[in-house]
Amino acid sequence: MGTTQLESVPEPKYWHLKTVLSEALDSEFTVGEILPNERELAARFGVARATLRQALEQLELEGRLQRRRGVGTTVAPPRVGVDVGTERRTWPGASGDTWQLVDCTVDAPPAAVADALGIDRDEPVHIVRRSRVSHGRPVAAELLYVPQSSVPDLTAIDAPSGTARARAVLRELQHLALEGQDRAVELGSARADDAKELDRLPGAPVLVVTTRFFAEGRTAALSVATYRADTCRLTFGASGGVEIHHGQERQAS
């Protein structure tokens, strides 16, 4: 081998395709513009549709594209910075939070949630559903699990209907002294119900933010919030008064 063997490492077609498309998006398209359809693009690049789709999937994962069945593929706007600040340690539903109540049920939680709450796996808890909207688009769906022991003063009279009961549960929560909280962020895929609320297909990538609220020496509530990974950037503002001019704060290419 006389020459440096750079060509002997064939880049996958979809990877190269992704690079080419990415550059084209930067230079030849504007936000919201609709791309040629997949069959057309595949033909234009001389690849099978499946290969072209592999490239599009990556670009969608990175928040560069948005695809909707029956409509087409459009150039996505930059990701929305969504504040999930840690320093403001308050109960959910405290004044100024950005969540919309959806409804509230009483049911046995998933086993993992019961374990985290330190309760029996078949002990029913309040499950408050909330959703979060930013810039007119749904960005997150939340399930807030509240053991009945955390809101002992809640009576059946307080809970005539879904959102009213949700309000009552959150109101009762404020009575507890919040001793602390912790958070975790991980990648997940949207369950069917979350997907519907987020206007995505089931299985869409989401950032799952799990928050545990501590009071009276135990976990008094557990929040599982799923954010659209394609359109959201979770921000943890921690410095004083520095303005964020988020635009192309994307990963280096």
Partner DNA sequence: CAGTGGTCTAGACCACGGA
Partner DNA sequence: CCGTGGTCTAGACCACTGC
Name the one range near a second copy by CB under 8 A: 29-37, 54-62, 146-154, 158-166: 54-62
Cα–Cα dist 96/22, whole Å: 39
Return the amino acid letter for 43: A
Which partner from the list DNA, a second copy, none does 252 bind, CB cut-off 5 to 8 Å by kind?
a second copy
Q: Tell the smallest beta-carbon distance from residue 43 to a second copy (Å).
A: 21
Q: Which residues pair with 189 in a beta bridge?
A: 205
Count the site residues for a second copy by CB under 8 A: 62
Interface residues with DNA (CB under 7 A)? Answer: 9-10, 12-15, 35, 37-40, 46-51, 53-54, 67-73, 201, 203
For residues 198 and 141, is the Cβ–Cβ distance under 8 A? yes
Which partner from the list a second copy, DNA, none does 182 bind, CB cut-off 5 to 8 Å by kind?
a second copy
Residue list 147-166, contact with a second copy (CB under 8 A)? none
Which partner from the list a second copy, DNA, none does 251 bind, CB cut-off 5 to 8 Å by kind?
a second copy
Q: Which residues pair with 187 in a beta bridge?
A: 207
Name the one range near a second copy by CB under 8 A: 29-37, 129-137, 152-160, 177-185: 177-185
Burial class (CB in 10 A: 0-12, 13-18, 19+), 143: buried
Q: Which of 111, 121, 160, 216 binds a second copy (CB under 8 A)?
A: 111
- Joined together, the tokens standing for residue 115 give 């374990």
Which partner from the list DNA, a second copy, none does 223 bind, CB cut-off 5 to 8 Å by kind?
none
- Joined together, the tokens standing for residue 162 give 């879904």
Q: Which of 39, 68, 175, 250 binds a second copy (CB under 8 A)?
A: 250
Q: Tell the smallest beta-carbon distance from residue 80 to a second copy (Å).
A: 10
* Residue 235 contacts a second copy per CB under 8 A: yes
Q: Which residues of 219-228 are buried (b: 16+ CB within 10 A; e: fewer)?
A: bbbbbbbbbb
Cα–Cα dist 16/134, whole Å: 34
Give SS3 for 118. coil
Which partner from the list DNA, a second copy, none does 38 bind, CB cut-off 5 to 8 Å by kind?
DNA
Phi, psi of 230 (to 5 degrees): -75, -30
- Joined together, the tokens standing for residue 190 give 């949207």
Cα–Cα dist 135/129, whole Å: 20
Enumerate binding residues for a second copy (CB under 8 A). Answer: 15, 18, 50, 58, 61-63, 79, 81, 86-87, 89, 109-113, 115-116, 143, 179-189, 191, 202-203, 205, 207-208, 210, 212, 214, 224, 226, 229-230, 232-240, 242, 244, 247-253
